[in-house]
């Protein structure tokens, strides 16, 4: 397994929490700090991951069992980690993934009812047990997040609304999982209130990442 010289961040939260905008802003900010910033996303990050994303997220395309969902996501993540994330970290780059295993624990675990220990076992097998150095959770009320997410999908003409279609109670379980994950490992998580204006949230995300990088490099 190649050495890990870079820094790995994950950006998590319910759909509609503002992750996409925060990641775009972060790219602009971190370009000033390091030319080695790599933004990526899940499912996706590779051609294989994009193909799996299309199968998983489009409502009405397929009716997946939760276990099948987990294994497809693990397959996409295995490609993503092996082909994109680990090589970037070995090269000393800063990687920020829009979703990672925290989303699997939230969506397929709390949301779809799969056992968290089983998810962690699959994750270890598919990634060599690679976890982020820091996970930033954008926290927002599920009603607000759901309304935002659906509005964005309509504006983009996207059909990636399968998980939004699972309803408000599903979204509440997902949010609770993100908060529980952060509470169980506070040294590796930061929770940011995403109810505030986008520019405020984005500035706070950037400040958290810059501070973490500064501490890492001075250690």
DSSP assignments along 169-182, one per residue? HHHHHHHHHHHHHH
* Burial class for 125, CB neighbours closer than 10 Å (0-12, 13-18, 19+): exposed
CATH number for 103: 3.40.50.300
For helices 19-33 and 198-218, give the axis angle rounded to 10 degrees.
40
Q: Residue 190: which domain range? A: 7-218
Whether residue 76 is contained in a domain is answered as: yes
Taking the C-alpha atoms of residue 20 and residue 31, their distance in angstroms, rounded to an integer, is: 17
Whether residue 104 is contained in a domain is answered as: yes
At 118, is the pLDDT very low, low, confident or very high (cuts 50, 70, 90)? Answer: very high
Taking the C-alpha atoms of residue 5 and residue 170, their distance in angstroms, rounded to an integer, is: 38
pLDDT at 161 > cutoff 90: no
At 32, is the pLDDT very low, low, confident or very high (cuts 50, 70, 90)? Answer: low
Counted domains in the chain: 1
* Per-residue confidence (pLDDT) for residue 216, from 0 to 100: 84
- Helix (H) / strand (E) containing 35: none
Taking the C-alpha atoms of residue 164 and residue 148, their distance in angstroms, rounded to an integer, is: 11
Whether residue 107 is contained in a domain is answered as: yes
Whether residue 20 is contained in a domain is answered as: yes
Strand order, beta sheet including 189-193 = 37-41, 94-98, 7-13, 134-139, 189-193
pTM confidence score: 0.90
Whether residue 41 is contained in a domain is answered as: yes
* Per-residue confidence (pLDDT) for residue 164, from 0 to 100: 63
Residue range 49-101, pLDDT digits in tens:
999 988 887 666 678 899 999 999 999 999 999 999 999 999 999 999 999 99
Closest by Cα among 33, 11, 65 to 213: 33
Whether residue 1 is contained in a domain is answered as: no
Least confident of 11-25, 29-43, 105-119: 29-43
- Helix (H) / strand (E) containing 14: none
Choose between 15 and 141: higher pLDDT: 141
* Per-residue confidence (pLDDT) for residue 219, from 0 to 100: 62
């Amino acid at each position: 397994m190649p050495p890990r010289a870079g820094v790995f961040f994950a950006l998590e939260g319910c759909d509609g929490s503002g992750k996409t905008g925060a990641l775009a802003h972060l790219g602009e900010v971190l370009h000033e700090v390091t030319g080695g910033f790599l933004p990526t996303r899940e499912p996706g990050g590779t051609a294989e991951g994009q193909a799996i994303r299309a199968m998983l997220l489009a409502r009405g395309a397929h009716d997946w069992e939760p276990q099948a969902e987990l294994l497809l996501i693990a397959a996409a993540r295995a490609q993503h980690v092996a082909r994109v994330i680990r090589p970037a970290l070995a090269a000393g780059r800063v990687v920020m993934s829009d979703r990672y295993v925290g989303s699997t624990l939230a969506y397929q675990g709390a949301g779809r009812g799969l056992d968290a220990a089983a998810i962690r076992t699959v994750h270890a097998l598919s990634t060599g047990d690679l976890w982020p150095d820091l996970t930033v959770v954008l926290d927002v009320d599920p009603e607000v997040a759901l309304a935002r997410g659906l509005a964005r999908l309509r504006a983009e003409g996207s059909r990636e609304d399968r998980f939004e279609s699972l309803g408000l109670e599903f979204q509440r379980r997902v949010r609770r999982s993100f908060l529980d994950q952060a509470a169980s490992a506070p040294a590796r998580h930061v929770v940011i209130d995403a109810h505030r204006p986008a520019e405020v949230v984005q500035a706070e995300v950037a400040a958290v990442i810059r501070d973490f990088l500064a501490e890492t490099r001075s250690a």
